[in-house]
Structure 1
Amino acid sequence: MSRIPDIDAFEERAAIAEYDGGLSRHEAENLAAQAQGFTDADAYWQWLADYVVKRRVP
């Protein structure tokens, strides 16, 4: 992934999917991550963690 994820969009999409869509938090975060091109929320959070640690786009 070469594009930097939009954290605000991720959080907003996950919240809407959870509260309005009736999904679990895990399902909602997976949906939000997939909307940004990640396979799931775990891949999204790992990308962000790598970015913070390495201080560069993975």
Structure 2
Amino acid sequence: MIPDIDAFEERAAILEYDCGYSRKQAEDKAAQSQGYQNAEQYWEWLADYVLNRNST
């Protein structure tokens, strides 16, 4: 499943500005809402997809 970048960014912004999370915490929570362990794993998966999507 391809991550929903718009939903990720919106969720992270809401958590950061409305809930007082740090940017890292907000991005981790947003990534977790899409089934990833944290934002790092989310961005790694997305980068790998972009770089390799035409390799198959």
Query: Runs of 5+ in structure 1 lacking a partner?
Result: none
Alignment correspondent of 2:4: 6
Structure 2 runs not aligned, ≥5 long: none
CA deviation vs aligned residue, 1:1-58 (integer Å, no higher than 9, x gap): xx111000000000000000000000000000000000000000000100011016xx
Q: Which structure has the larger Rg?
A: 2
- What is the Cα-based RMSD across aligned positions, in Å? 0.8
Runs of 4+ in 1 over 4 A off after TM superposition: none
Identity %: 67
TM-score (norm 1): 0.90
Aligned residues: 54
Q: What TM-score comes out, normalization by structure 2 length?
A: 0.93
